[in-house]
Amino acid sequence: MARTANSRIYVAGHRGLVGAAVARALLQRGVENLLLRTHQELDLTQQAAVRDFFDRERPQAVILAAARVGGIHANNTRPALFIRDNLLIQDNVIDAAHRSGVAKLVFLGSSCIYPKLAPQPIKEEYLLTGPLEPTNEWYAIAKIAGLKMCQAYRREFGFNAISLMPTNLYGPGDNFDLQNSHVLPALIRRCHEAKLRGDAELTVWGTGTPRREFLHVNDLADAVLHLLDTYDDEPIVNIGWGEDVTIRELALLVAEVVGYAGRVVFDPSKPDGTPRKLLDTTRLTQLGWRPKIPLRAGLEQTYAWFKAHAADARL
């Protein structure tokens, strides 16, 4: 899609980690005609309200970064909420965008769509080749339905919807609520609080051996805009850093960045989740994009943001 400073772009979920980064990136690139609605202003699970919004506002492009998102605990305890909200949000937005003549839609999925024991690194074609990680299959099934809906609307109606599958993300605006957050923001907050209390020891769930990949959300936003401008095809595209670290390495790096001097220990009685999750980013590289923010620099920037926003961050 040819994006200009006047393009009318709707960023759904602009108060979330991803949506906020995409909105910032668009503003930085001079796009002034952003269309934004908070969850309170427009509940995307409500079909009539969503259709009405698209008919009235007529965006030219949509970045669908609104979703019901959470960590293992939230996924495990609220399976109905996770599958229902995500199916409704994406169904309503994709269909209304098509009906109202949107020129391009970017759907954001997640690396949890891939089989739990997929060969590593995970290529896009491993989708639907094996069972999912059971702790978040509700969320994953909804996301798979979303990317299939984009592909079906492209085939049947010629609707230009693309689907991007980011790895684990982190950065300013992340969710630091311990009940509901992902491993990295939870580690930042717990190390910070352990440092303030002067705790001698900090316990991390699991064995520390699972491997995970992390991408700074500003890098993701840059990739989203690159593919918004240049990629118009059916195959899904992984968005990742290209290398992973063990949870132990991550925990020690976070402790170092935060300045927590106590001991980091692991509790192997707690679940580990998927043993390894590294996305193969060959397709993304071929499409002309590479990430730029290394993990340590990204963590330093995120921790600085966390300290500066402790009052208004999602705690």
Ligand X SMILES: NC(=O)c1ccc[n+]([C@@H]2O[C@H](COP(=O)([O-])OP(=O)(O)OC[C@H]3O[C@@H](n4cnc5c(N)ncnc54)[C@H](OP(=O)(O)O)[C@@H]3O)[C@@H](O)[C@H]2O)c1
Question: Which is catalytic among the residues 114, 139, 153, 170?
Answer: 139
Contact 228, 63 (CB under 8 A): yes
Q: For ligand X, which residue of 8, 34, 36, 43 counts as binding (CB under 6 A)?
A: 43
- Bridge partners, residue 164, by sequence: 108, 237
Nearer to ligand X, 89 or 236 (CB): 89
Q: How far is the CB of 4 from ligand X (least distance, A)?
A: 25
Which one among 3, 9, 10, 16 touches ligand X, defined by CB under 6 A? 16
139 is an active site residue: yes
Residue of 103, 19, 90, 95 lying closest to 60 (CA atoms): 103
Size of the site for ligand X (CB under 6 A): 24
Helices (H) and strands (E) in the chain, counts: 10, 13
Which of the residues 18 through 37 are near ligand X (CB under 6 A)? Answer: 18-19
| Among residues 169, 191, 258, 284, the one that binds ligand X under rule CB under 6 A | 169
Q: What pairing do the DSSP bridges indicate for beta strands 61-64 and 34-35?
A: unpaired
The answer to the question of residue 122 lying near ligand X (CB under 6 A) is no
* 3-state SS string for 59-114: CCEEEECCCCCCCHHHHHHCHHHHHHHHHHHHHHHHHHHHHCCCCEEEEECCHHHC
Tokens matching residue 51: 């259709």
Q: Give the one residue of 71, 121, 166, 273 binding ligand X; rule: CB under 6 A.
A: 166
Q: What is the DSSP string of 1-29?
A: ----TT--EEEETTTSHHHHHHHHHHHHT
Instruction: In whole angstroms, give the CA distance from residue 281 to residue 239.
Output: 6
Residues numbered 285 to 314 that lie near ligand X (CB under 6 A) are: none
For tokens 């959300």, name the residue.
217
Q: Which range touches ligand X (CB under 6 A), out of 28-36, 62-70, 119-127, 193-201? A: 62-70
Residue 157 neighbours by CB under 8 Å, 6+ apart: 98
Q: Does 108 bind ligand X (CB under 6 A)?
A: yes
Q: Of these, 68, 104, 189, 190, which contacts ligand X (CB under 6 A)?
A: 68
Stretch that binds ligand X, among 52-60, 66-74, 96-104, 296-304 (CB under 6 A): 66-74
Q: Does 67 bind ligand X (CB under 6 A)?
A: yes
Asked whether the beta carbons of 187 and 254 are under 8 A apart, the reply is yes
User: Interface with ligand X includes 110 (CB under 6 A)?
Assistant: yes
Nearer to ligand X, 4 or 216 (CB): 216
Asked if 65 interacts with ligand X (CB under 6 A), we say yes
Nearest in space to 107 (alpha carbons), one of 118, 127, 92: 92
- Contacts (CB under 6 A) with ligand X, residues 74-93: 85, 89
The reply to whether 247 sits near ligand X by the rule CB under 6 A is no
Sites of contact with ligand X (CB under 6 A): 13, 15-19, 39, 43-45, 65-69, 85, 89, 108, 110, 166, 168-169, 175, 182
Residues forming the active site: 139
